[in-house]
Amino acid sequence: MNAFRALVVVEAKLLFRDPVTWLAAVVLPSVVLVLFGGVFAGGPNPDLGGRRWIDLFVPSLVVITIGTLGIQTLPGRLATYREKGVLRRLGTTPVHPAGVLAAQLALYAAVSIVALVLLITVAHVGYDVPLPLDPVGYVAAYLLGMGALFAVGLLIAAVAPSARTATAIAIPLFFAVMFLGGVYMPRVLLPEIVQRIGDVTPPGVQGLQDAWLGTAPQIGPLAVLALITVGVGALATRLFRWE
């Protein structure tokens, strides 16, 4: 436990010495909301099921934080450690690969929750977006979606030999996650088949959207996200290389 705590503290210090990274994850979703909210807030739209555009857009903005941390930052950071020999030196200590990955997961999960609270506050205060109407369902969907996407990021981090390789894998995956998550356009405007793919693609934004609007998330997609979290996370631990 002491070793794990030390890893988290050290990683937190390193992360916050890089303000571009953590500010992008924490502040960017709220900045995007402010930039687009004043233009597209509007009133209820029949094409959006009687909802305002912004009511559907806010849950999708959560994807920016999770994607930035889990797909871009985490794999690149660990791959850089591998490239520079940091992981090789850690490999000579009693630290287990699972401990290294769990420390990263704990840190980035905490940062993503801070970003989520900020986004919800700005949306509610600035644009009268209701708070999640099914808070229990929302927390479950958020944790499972975040866990699944972070597990994918950990898998990239576990095997990428260099930061360049990690980035090459992460960039197209990040844009795919943003598209399926409804960041580029509301999901209701996407083709039906694309929406269904997005339901089970981490972070499963449909569950987040449903819970925010008061409908209980569907069990099937949540179960898929749980399987991805456990299965891909275990695979990442198994394939992890110190160098």
Q: Where are the domains of the chain?
A: 2-239
CA–CA separation, 104 and 106 (whole Å):
6
> Mean pLDDT throughout 51-73?
83
Nearest Cα residue to 167 out of 74, 61, 63:
74
CA–CA separation, 157 and 173 (whole Å):
14
Q: How confident is the model at residue 143 (pLDDT cuts 50, 70, 90)?
A: very high
CA–CA separation, 158 and 166 (whole Å):
10
**Cβ proximity of 107 and 116 under 8 Å:** no
Q: What is the pLDDT of residues 64-78, one digit of tens each?
A: 888 888 888 888 888
Nearest Cα residue to 150 out of 228, 62, 243, 227:
228
CA–CA separation, 138 and 234 (whole Å):
25
Ranking 48-57, 74-83, 142-151, 173-182 by mean pLDDT, the lowest is: 48-57
pLDDT > 80? residue 236: yes
pLDDT for res 152? 92
Q: What is the pLDDT of residues 166-195, one digit of tens each?
A: 889 988 998 888 888 877 777 777 888 888
> Mean pLDDT throughout 38-43?
68
